[in-house]
Amino acid sequence: MISSAMEKALNDQINKELYSAYYYYAMAAYLDVEGFEGMANFMKAQAMEETAHAQKFYDYVNEQGGRVILEAIDKPPAEYDSPKHIFELGLEHEKFVTSRIHSLVSLALDEKDYATKQFLDWFVKEQVEEEATMDNILNKFKMIGSGGHGLYMLDAKLGERKPASSESDED
């Protein structure tokens, strides 16, 4: 059984995860229009992953006897400066999500809610991977500069990403 404070915090995280999906879909929409189908594919897969994260929180709240309360999701931006800018914003956003997960872990420890702390451990590890992925892509942008061939190759490489299956999300 989770406390009312934990229930509220986890419900807020569901909203943030769903916003993350909207945010990445908005980025994908921009990239599609600009002709970067591979990068758009990457962001669509990212959005689906964020939806799966929201579902994990949703299921956990229910399993712990809490009540899921869904709130309105903020509208994400629709315009961006460049593909590189999108990935800079992606890294910034992942750092924000990491800070939210860390706050949830702190709350769980303060409340001696060890079940929730254990549940959140998966997300702590996931956020390390999320930040590293965005940072790695930004390093590729730095290597290629503004050259068209390099940008074309990076777009093609990012287009190879497949959405994560639900089985791999259980790690």
Whole-number mean pLDDT of the chain? 93
For 123, residues 6+ apart whose C-beta sits below 8 A from its C-beta are 53, 101, 104
Query: What pLDDT does 49 receive?
Result: 97
Tell me: pLDDT of 130 over 90.
yes
Classify the phi-psi angles of 160: left when phi > 0, otherwise alpha if psi is within -120 to 50, otherwise beta: alpha
Tell me: pLDDT of 111 over 90.
yes
Res. 167 pLDDT band, cuts 50 70 90? very low
Q: What is the mean pLDDT of residues 105-111?
A: 98
pLDDT tens for each residue of 61-107: 999 999 999 999 999 999 999 999 999 999 999 999 999 999 999 99
Out of 141-145, 146-150, 161-165, which region has the weakest mean confidence (pLDDT)? 161-165
Q: Give the integer Cα–Cα distance in Å for 42 and 46.
A: 6
CATH number for the domain running over 4-70+79-170:
1.20.1260.10
Q: For the whole model, what pTM was predicted?
A: 0.91
Q: Where in the chain are the domains?
A: 4-70+79-170
Query: What pLDDT does 165 receive?
Result: 58
The more confident residue out of 170 and 150 is 150
Query: What pLDDT does 166 receive?
Result: 44
Please provide residue 131's backbone torsions phi and psi, each rounded to the nearest 5 degrees: -65, -40
